[in-house]
Structure 1
Amino acid sequence: MLKSAALLALAAVVTARKCHDLTIPISISARNAVFDLPAPLSEIDVTSFFLGFVHAGINYTDALLTGYKTVSGHYNIAATYCQPDHGPGKALQVLTHGIAFDRSYWDYPFNNHNYSYVAEAVDEQGYSTFTWDRLGVGASSKGNPINEIQQYLEVAALTELSTLLRKGCVKGINAKFSKFVHVGHSFGSAITYNFVNANPDFSDAAVLTGFSQNANFLSGFALGGNFKPVKEIPSLAAKYPAGYVAVPSSVGVNIQFFAPGDFDPKMLASAFANGQPATPGEILTIGAGLSTVNAFRGHLLIATGERDVPFCGGNCSDTTTIQGAFPNLLAFSEILFPNASTFEAAVIPEAGHGLNFGYSHKAAYASIFDFLRSSL
Structure 2
Amino acid sequence: MHRAIRCFFTVLIALAALALVAPRPAAATSQIRVKEVTFPVTLSDGNTYSIAGHLYYQHSYRNKTLQVAIHGGSYNHRYWDAPAVNGHPYSYARFMARLNYAVLAIDQLGSGESSRPPGDLVTLEEAGSGVHQVLASLRGAHNPLGHAFDEIVLVGHSLGSMTATHVQGAYGDADALVTTGMGHVPVPSPFDPADFAALLQQPYFTLPAELRAEHFYNPLLADPDVIALDNAELIDELPRALAVSALASQYDPAVTLVDQVTSPVLVQLGELDPIAPGSTADLEDDAWTSASSVTVQVLPGMGHDFNLHVHNLVSWLPIHGWIAATLCGG
Compute the TM-score of the two structures, normalised by the length of structure 1: 0.73
Matches within 5 A, 1:43-82: 71-82=45-56
**Percent pairwise identity:** 23
Deviation, 1:374, is 1.2
1:288 aligns with 2:256: no
1:97 aligns with 2:56: no
Matches within 5 A, 1:250-269: 251-269=210-228
Deviation, 1:18, is 1.5
Kindly indicate whether the alpha-carbon contact (under 8 Å) linking 2:184 and 2:250 is maintained by their aligned counterparts in 1.
Answer: no
Amino acid paired to 1:74 = T
Kindly indicate whether the alpha-carbon contact (under 8 Å) linking 1:258 and 1:352 is maintained by their aligned counterparts in 2.
Answer: yes
Matches within 5 A, 1:297-308: 297-308=262-273
1:114 corresponds to: 89
1:20 corresponds to: 35
1:214 aligns with 2:185: yes
Deviation, 1:130, is 0.9
Q: 1:185 aligns with which of 132, 137, 157?
A: 157
Kindly indicate whether the alpha-carbon contact (under 8 Å) linking 1:225 and 1:252 is maintained by their aligned counterparts in 2.
Answer: no
Structure 1: segments with no counterpart, 5+ residues: 1-8, 30-70, 232-241, 318-328
Cα distance, 1:278–1:12 mapped onto 2, change above 3 Å? closer
Deviation, 1:263, is 0.5
Deviation, 1:289, is 7.1
* DSSP-derived class of the 1:351 partner: coil
Matches within 5 A, 1:1-376: 13-29=28-44, 71-88=45-62, 90-111=64-85, 114-123=89-98, 125-145=99-119, 147-171=120-144, 173-200=145-172, 202-218=173-189, 220-221=190-191, 242-249=202-209, 251-274=210-233, 275-286=235-246, 287-288=248-249, 290-292=251-253, 294-312=259-277, 316-317=278-279, 329-376=280-327
Amino acid paired to 1:269 = A
* DSSP-derived class of the 1:273 partner: helix
2:8 corresponds to: none
Please identify, of 13-22 and 360-369, the stretch whose mean Cα deviation from structure 2 is larger.
13-22
- For residues 54-90 of structure 1, the C-alpha deviation after alignment (integer angstroms, 9 at most, x for no partner) is xxxxxxxxxxxxxxxxx43210211111222144352
- For residues 205-259 of structure 1, the C-alpha deviation after alignment (integer angstroms, 9 at most, x for no partner) is 10010010123333x145597786599xxxxxxxxxx53222233x211112101
2:16 corresponds to: none
Deviation, 1:115, is 0.7
- For residues 318-344 of structure 1, the C-alpha deviation after alignment (integer angstroms, 9 at most, x for no partner) is xxxxxxxxxxx1342322223322210
Kindly indicate whether the alpha-carbon contact (under 8 Å) linking 1:82 and 1:130 is maintained by their aligned counterparts in 2.
Answer: yes
Deviation, 1:93, is 0.6
Amino acid paired to 2:319 = I
Deviation, 1:168, is 2.4
Distance 1:198 1:289 in 2: 16
Amino acid paired to 1:362 = L
Amino acid paired to 2:274 = V
Distance 1:359 1:106 in 2: 14
Amino acid paired to 2:83 = P
Distance 1:17 1:348 in 2: 28
More relative contact order, 1 or 2 (CA 8 Å, 6+ apart):
2
Distance 2:252 2:196 in 1: 27
Cα distance, 1:289–1:310 mapped onto 2, change above 3 Å? closer
Amino acid paired to 2:264 = H
Kindly indicate whether the alpha-carbon contact (under 8 Å) linking 2:67 and 2:155 is maintained by their aligned counterparts in 1.
Answer: yes
Q: Which has the larger radius of gyration?
A: 1
Kindly indicate whether the alpha-carbon contact (under 8 Å) linking 2:263 and 2:293 is maintained by their aligned counterparts in 1.
Answer: yes
Distance 1:373 1:161 in 2: 24
Deviation, 1:359, is 1.2
* DSSP-derived class of the 1:129 partner: strand
Amino acid paired to 2:288 = F
Q: How many residues align?
A: 297
Distance 1:252 1:12 in 2: 34
Cα distance, 1:289–1:247 mapped onto 2, change above 3 Å? closer
Distance 1:89 1:259 in 2: 38
Distance 2:224 2:63 in 1: 34
Kindly indicate whether the alpha-carbon contact (under 8 Å) linking 1:107 and 1:117 is maintained by their aligned counterparts in 2.
Answer: yes
Distance 2:292 2:25 in 1: 41
